[in-house]
């Protein structure tokens, strides 16, 4: 049991170190995937488009760096900026979303990349604290299981 807990502890420790070391690559990968999702955004409700809509609605953002990122997409030439960028769904018409100057007043202007990464970084202390707590319980479990094993081994010879 102590060996199994030690193995799990080491796996979690390695995952945390890898995540910390490669955090910049993770950000770069996220940004490129978000750019690809914007480029391939369509109305057919695939999961990438749904993810973009969910991020934009939840974080009140639009585009990768800002709302003007949508201007270089095929979706913009057909339908304008997506409705998920609208500050108010009732006050957003398709004509407004096709005109970048009018859309600036009706949609969120901040980009999603900065908001997502800043939200993740602000929650990292909570995740680190919970992980540290779990690691402490695992170490206590390892120590107690080793003590139990030693106690059982020592008492086998005394019982005879």
Q: What residue spans define the domains of the chain?
A: 1-158
pLDDT at 157: 59
- Which range has the worst mean pLDDT, 15-19, 63-67, 103-107? 15-19
Mean pLDDT of 135-152: 89
At 63 the three-state DSSP class reads coil
* C-beta neighbour count of 152 within 10 angstroms: 9
- Rounded to whole angstroms, the Cα distance separating 122 from 120 reads 5
pLDDT at 140: 93
pLDDT at 7: 92
CB 62 within 8 Å of CB 116: no
Distances (CA, A) of 127 to 119, 132, 133, 137, 154: 12, 9, 10, 16, 41
For the full predicted model, state whether its pTM sits above 0.85.
no
Q: Inform me whether the pLDDT recorded for 101 exceeds 70.
A: yes
Q: Quick one: pLDDT band at residue 43, thresholds 50, 70, 90?
A: low
Mean pLDDT of 105-124: 87
Residue with tokens 């995740």: 127
Backbone angles phi, psi at 110, to 5 degrees: -75, 145
Fold of 1-158: Cd81 Antigen, Extracellular Domain; Chain: A (1.10.1450)
Distances (CA, A) of 49 to 41, 79, 135, 151, 157: 5, 14, 37, 59, 67
């Amino acid at each position: 049991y102590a060996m199994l807990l030690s193995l799990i502890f080491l796996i979690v420790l390695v995952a945390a170190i890898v995540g910390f070391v490669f955090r910049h690559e993770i950000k770069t990968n996220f940004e490129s995937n978000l750019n690809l999702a914007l480029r391939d955004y369509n109305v057919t409700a695939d999961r990438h488009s749904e993810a973009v809509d969910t991020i934009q609605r939840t974080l009140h953002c639009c585009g990768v760096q800002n709302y003007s990122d949508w201007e270089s997409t095929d979706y913009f030439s057909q339908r304008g900026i997506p409705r998920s960028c609208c500050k108010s769904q009732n006050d957003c018409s398709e004509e407004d979303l096709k005109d970048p100057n009018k859309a600036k007043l009706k949609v969120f202007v901040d980009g999603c990349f900065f908001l997502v990464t800043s939200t993740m970084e602000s929650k990292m202390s909570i995740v680190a604290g919970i992980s540290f707590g779990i690691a402490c319980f695992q170490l206590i479990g390892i120590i107690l299981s080793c003590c139990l094993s030693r106690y059982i081994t020592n008492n086998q010879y005394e019982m005879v």
